[in-house]
Amino acid sequence: MNEDAPKPDLSIPVPGDHLSPEALMEWGRISRELHKLGLLTEIDRPALEAYCQAYGRWVAAEREMKKPDFSLIITTPKGAQIQNPLIGIANTAVEIMRKYLTEFGMTPSSRSRVIVPKKTEKTNPFAAMGS
């Protein structure tokens, strides 16, 4: 552990108003958990917003792909058959999410590499002296 690493104050930042409803739901869920673990500060806001927004895009794309008329292959106006763009949107969002999940220690393997300082009790150096 780098003892000289900056140690910003822990906090749950306020999310930006540009986040989608799905991203805001994820923000509410994950920000509390990261804060409890001692892994969230004000300066982490952009990274967490990026993760949550990617999560929101993934959810939106997955919802669209659940519709009965969804097809893996679509035909373009010129007649070419291509992969449905929703698949690319979902896959890109998952890849972005994976990168941020790793940064915040939110996967089993990345969590094993996160070092959180143990909370120590402050002791009174004069307690042993008696009165």
pLDDT in tens, 80-93: 999 999 999 999 99
- What is the structure's pLDDT at 1? 61
- Asked if residue 74 lies in contact with residue 84, where contact means CB atoms within 8 angstroms, the answer is yes
Say if residue 78's pLDDT is above 90. Answer: yes
What pLDDT is stored for residue 39 in this prediction? 87
- How many beta carbons lie within 10 A of that of residue 113, not counting itself? 9
Give the domain ranges of the chain: 21-113
Tell me which of 26-35, 75-84, 88-97, 119-128 is least confident: 119-128
pLDDT at 94 over 80: yes
Q: Are 34 and 15 in contact (CB under 8 A)?
A: no
Task: Report the pLDDT averaged over residues 4-22.
Answer: 91
Give the whole-angstrom CA distance, residue 64 versus residue 96.
19
Token pair for 80:
């070419």
Detail the DSSP E strand segments found in 55-102: 73-75, 81-83
More confident residue, 91 or 106: 91
